Amino acid sequence: MSAPRTSKWYIEYSSPHLGHMHGITEILVSVQTKFQKMDIVRSGAFGTCLILDDKMQASSVDEFIYHETLVHPVMLTHPAPKSVLVIGGGEGATLREVLRHRSVEKAVMVDIDDQVIEQCKKHLPSWHQGAFDDKRSKVISTDARKYLEETDEIFDVIITDLSEPVEEGPAYLLYTREFYQMAMGRLSANGTLSLQAGTAAIPYLLNFSAVYQTLNSVFPVVAPYQTFIPSFGLPWGFAIASKNQDPRQFSEAFVDQKIQERISSPLSFYDGTTHKGLFGVPKHVRRELEASKIVIEDNHPLFTYH
């Protein structure tokens, strides 16, 4: 109940008025890479935490929630995904979840920051679990826009696992209409895309709404969803965009059956019941998403508090 409070803290600010304090016991990495500020710390509540540009990316205690949420619904939304592109995702855990799908024959990961990949390989081995060494994997260290412009590969699923669009950060041009159009151009006939879209907390819905509307300006179907990653301290928004499939139609039983058929090992977070929870977005959030008029463009980027 009243164990002594720790003295060493990592403090993350979501806004000028909101901070999250994480008691820490170790600082494993604290560097400025070519692209961003990177910290890996050991926290008392959430284990090892990866933090980029002062934003919590994932923690060893609850990263399974984030990564299963980002990967499995979008994978099930495609009838039989063989080729997958992961944009970002330097920790390797998104790749890890993708590779659990038996249908996958090729998984390309494009992350701009090879220092992040290297440090995660070293300090977070339980996150990638050998995903980088799977023979289906290919890791490319370059800017995702450059990659998409130059490649002629076509993917069944694209997963953009990006840090938040902070000013001068590496990711903000990967949240624009132009970028989603490029992604759309590399998707196969039943292609689907997923992403995290910032917090779903009521005072801070601007970003989630704008990403939703921006996807809407490009894709025929956009299904927003949300979950709770405790280490983030706020509910978190996601979205699946697709050419023709809508995961909101799936019954619990359908999801449970597809997991059984397609995924090679037991999941911790996701199943049919969880699926209904993810897409059961509260009324006020759905209303805000629909009411937004903002479309993010290269010339009108959106930044989150930093």
Annotated catalytic residues are 161
DSSP code at position 288: H
Residue closer to a second copy (CB basis): 113 or 271: 271
Q: Crossing angle of helices 177-185/206-216, nearest 10°? A: 40
Under the binding rule (CB under 8 A), the answer on residue 200 touching a second copy is yes
132: tokens are: 């980088």
Of 61-69, 75-83, 149-157, 189-197, the window that binds a second copy (rule: CB under 8 A) is: 61-69
Residue closer to a second copy (CB basis): 60 or 137: 60
Cα angle vertex 159, ends 153, 160, to 5°?
A: 105
Please enumerate in sequence order all residues whose Cβ is within 8 A of that of 161, keeping only pairs 6 or more positions apart, or say none: 70, 86, 87, 88, 89, 94, 195, 196
- The answer to whether the CB of 192 falls within 8 A of the CB of 78 is yes
Under the binding rule (CB under 8 A), the answer on residue 164 touching a second copy is no
Task: Find the binding residues for a second copy in span 165-194 (CB under 8 A).
Answer: 166-167
Binds a second copy by CB under 8 A, chosen from 75, 95, 201, 222: 201
Residue closer to a second copy (CB basis): 132 or 305: 305
* CA-CA-CA-CA dihedral for 183, 185, 188, 190, to nearest 10: 70
Binds a second copy by CB under 8 A, chosen from 35, 36, 38, 39: 39
Under the binding rule (CB under 8 A), the answer on residue 132 touching a second copy is no
Of 42-50, 70-78, 238-246, 292-300, the window that binds a second copy (rule: CB under 8 A) is: 42-50
Of 16-24, 78-86, 116-124, 146-154, the window that binds a second copy (rule: CB under 8 A) is: 16-24
Measuring CA to CA, which residue among 72, 236, 85, 69 is closest to residue 148? 85
Residue closer to a second copy (CB basis): 20 or 121: 20
